Amino acid sequence: MTKKYMFKGGVHPDHNKSQTETVPVEIFAAPERIVIPLSQHIGAPSKPMVKRGDNIVIGQVLGETAGFVSSPIHSSVSGTVQSVGHFPHPNGKQCIAVEIKNNFKDETATFFPFETPWREAAPGELIQKIASCGIVGMGGASFPTHVKLSPPSNKPIDTLIINGAECEPFLTADHRLMLERTEEFLTGVQILKKILAADKCIIGIEENKPDAIDSVNKKLSDPRFKGITVGVLKAKYPQGGEKQLIEAITSRQVPSGGLPMDVGCVVDNVGTTVAVQEAIITGKPLYQRILTVTGPTVANPKNLLVRVGTPIKDILDACSVDFSRTKKVIMGGPMMGIAQSDLDAPVIKSTSGLLCYDRSYPGIRAYPCINCGKCLKACPMKLVPSRIAKYVENDKIEDAMEWNLMDCMECGSCTYICPSKINIVNYVKLGKYKVQCERAAAKK
């Protein structure tokens, strides 16, 4: 019997992947108007490099990095810059973005693949190429990949883990990517393994994706991919969290406030891995991605290859969404995604899906905590969520900090399982916001 890896805690929401898990990826045509935010990653937003009236080609740099923890932004269409200003961002705020009128000529910048065979290249050279192509984590966090691949010399990496769990309900983009582009995916894994000089590489795939497991294992029989194995994961949420993957596969626990590199591991997403392969083999920067469009009000659920900067509404229209029944649109999955208040907001590098609901739950009454302990058992970070929520509710932020408020990954497992319907994760977010405000005030 094949061993199935798992972590302690978590919850078991319905998978709801049947609508799109067998639907091949389609190319979504770029619209007439594109809005590309210069903040699509953790770290400093990119600095604008273009102005109104400039003629642009696909792959041209629109924003350059503003520090080490930053990433360049590239154009996804050819055309003319209409404006550089504040536009709606999927995070609910306004941010600097470049608005481009598409000329539909698809004129493309010259992409330069890595000059020498990548197997012969120095890791630093490969990292530099990845950085220049704007590769970031595509599983949601958007951490610049070149930073993740540059651990300090006193923290050697012995294990590379590829996150193929895709544990969020409804989403199937990574699933399709592993099936349809297995060769490119595994080449990307090899490149990452070389950069990190990792002894082991394990691709974690949840058990509810047996066709992906079979497809990858079949390709791994090729001697070229020696040293890479598949780890079958128990289907449980949030199995795709990097700390949960590390615990499940290696039994190592990342310390409070620490990073995976502290226990000799690096975790990368499937989409990110394919983007790395494209950057090194073809020189292509990250300006498009695969996402899932699904939900109760979507007549034609699909997996789409979409240009970054495409307005959400254009995509939903193409999938025949019934807006008369749609009560909520979420970017990402139902557990950690962000509800959208403006459908003019664009797709960004970390957009894994668009989920359309026919119901919303305004004003659900929260009853007093009954101290049942269900949130404690569900918490994948081994916190006491109810206690943290109570402290934040009573504005006792220092007490919440002592109970490791900042270690919460905001997965929502506690809120999902709570019989009293307390929105625990909302209190956590509020607490973190207050901490950030206090730290910002202290700096001033």
Q: 297 and 352: one domain?
A: yes
Q: 249 and 327: one domain?
A: yes
Q: What does the DSSP assignment read for 63-121?
A: EE-SSSS---EE-SS-EEEEEEEEEE-TTSSEEEEEEEEE-S---BPPP---SS-GGGS
**What's the number of domains the chain is made of?**
2
Q: Provide the CA 405 distance to its chain's centre, in angstroms.
A: 22
Q: 244 and 323: one domain?
A: yes
Assess if residue 261 is contained within a domain.
yes
What SS3 class is residue 333?
coil
- The domain in which residue 314 lies consists of 1-27+111-360
Assess if residue 299 is contained within a domain.
yes
Assess if residue 322 is contained within a domain.
yes
Assess if residue 311 is contained within a domain.
yes
Could you tell me the two tokens for 444?
């001033």
Q: 281 and 391: one domain?
A: no
Q: 380 and 321: one domain?
A: no
Note down pLDDT in tens along the chain; length 444 residues. 467 999 999 999 999 999 999 999 999 999 999 999 999 998 889 999 999 999 999 999 999 998 888 999 999 999 999 999 999 999 989 999 999 999 999 999 999 888 789 999 999 999 999 999 999 999 877 899 999 999 999 999 999 999 999 999 999 999 999 999 999 999 999 999 999 999 999 999 999 999 999 999 999 999 999 999 999 999 999 999 999 999 999 999 999 989 999 999 999 999 999 999 999 999 999 999 999 999 999 999 999 999 999 999 999 999 999 999 999 999 999 999 999 999 999 999 999 999 999 987 765 678 999 999 999 999 999 999 999 999 999 999 999 999 999 999 999 999 999 999 999 999 999 999 999 999 988 887
- Model's pTM, two decimal places? 0.94
Distance, CA of 92 to CA of 379 (rounded, Å):
27
pLDDT at 435: 95
User: SS3 sequence, 197-226?
Assistant: CCCEEEEEEECCCHHHHHHHHHHHCCHHHC
pLDDT at 352: 96
Give me the residue label for tokens 């408020």.
405
pLDDT at 362: 63
Q: 321 and 419: one domain?
A: no
pLDDT at 1: 43
Could you tell me the two tokens for 292?
């899932």
Q: 260 and 383: one domain?
A: no
- Residue where a domain stops, chosen among 309, 327, 360: 360
Assess if residue 211 is contained within a domain.
yes
| CATH assignment of the domain containing 115 | 3.40.50.11540
395 sits in the region (left: phi over 0; alpha: psi -120 to 50; else beta) called left
Q: 222 and 260: one domain?
A: yes
Nearest to 235 by CA among 402, 444, 16: 16
Assess if residue 96 is contained within a domain.
no
Q: 250 and 398: one domain?
A: no
Assess if residue 345 is contained within a domain.
yes
- Residue where a domain stops, chosen among 360, 382, 417: 360
Q: 181 and 224: one domain?
A: yes
Q: 125 and 151: one domain?
A: yes
- Residue where a domain stops, chosen among 360, 393, 413: 360
Assess if residue 265 is contained within a domain.
yes
Size (the chain), residues:
444
Q: 191 and 291: one domain?
A: yes
